[in-house]
Amino acid sequence: MEKYIYDVFDRLDPSHTNTDFYRSFFSKMTDKEFDSFFKKFFEDKNAFLTWHITPYENDMEVENIEKAAKFMNVALWDYVVWPYGIGDDNKPIVTPYKVPIGYINEKRVQQTAIKKNKTSIDTSMRDAKTNQVVSRDKNGRESIDENYALATYGAYATMKEFMSFRADDSVMKEAAYSAIRNNGYVSMEDLPDHIENKAALNMLDAYMISMGLKTDLVTDGYLTLKSLKKEKEYD
């Protein structure tokens, strides 16, 4: 057991810092203590031997990880199969190339909770710059994780709804509410969808310009929306 551990850490850390640490740690144990230590170790699925790293002294190197993985016969790259993609178990979706595989240590946050434990019934608290809901109403917005899920399913029309009149486009929102009051229903196709009404997008474009960068998020050329409107007035 000791030799296996030292051989792994020798490959992970050629400076032998980790090997020397564990050699000193285990050498102080009796056979009974060593046996007891590893019995508890293997009973705990979350237990692991820590890899000690000091920046600029014994940094993590991909080449060393590959050496250790090869020694332990652990695959770092493989094809990933997704059997639920098209509803046919006999024709699963498979990545065209091998991709990195392994465990991701992720702490569950509120946005990825199985069941949300609170929500909002109002959207009046909004950021003055982005027009997005904030403060007590912020959990009424569409989260990044929920957008990822919608994109995965190809629900782009739903994403457009959640990120337009349900988000920062006040002009579209008022038109939607007006249609619902008058007709009892609303269609996205009937709503005014203009780039100048997207508050968050225009704020991002303004920030980019302030850094000396011009994007095509709002306008294609170097003129701003304000300048383009002036040109139209003169024409």
pLDDT 10s per residue in the chain (235 long)?
Answer: 999 999 999 999 999 999 999 999 999 999 999 999 999 999 998 899 999 999 888 898 999 999 999 999 999 999 988 877 666 777 788 888 999 888 777 666 666 666 656 666 777 778 888 888 777 777 777 778 888 888 888 888 888 888 888 888 889 999 999 999 999 998 988 899 888 888 888 899 889 989 998 888 888 878 777 777 776 665 5
**pTM for this one?**
0.46
Q: How far apart are CA 224 and CA 229, in angstroms?
A: 9
- Are residues 42 and 132 located together in one domain of the fold? no
Say if 158 falls within a structural domain: yes
- Burial (CB count within 10 angstroms: exposed 0-12, middle 13-18, buried 19+), residue 14: middle
Q: Which residue range(s) make up the domain with 210?
A: 118-234
How many structural domains is the chain composed of?
2
Strand partners, 133: 126
Say if 104 falls within a structural domain: no
Tokens representing 146?
A: 């929920």
Say if 25 falls within a structural domain: yes
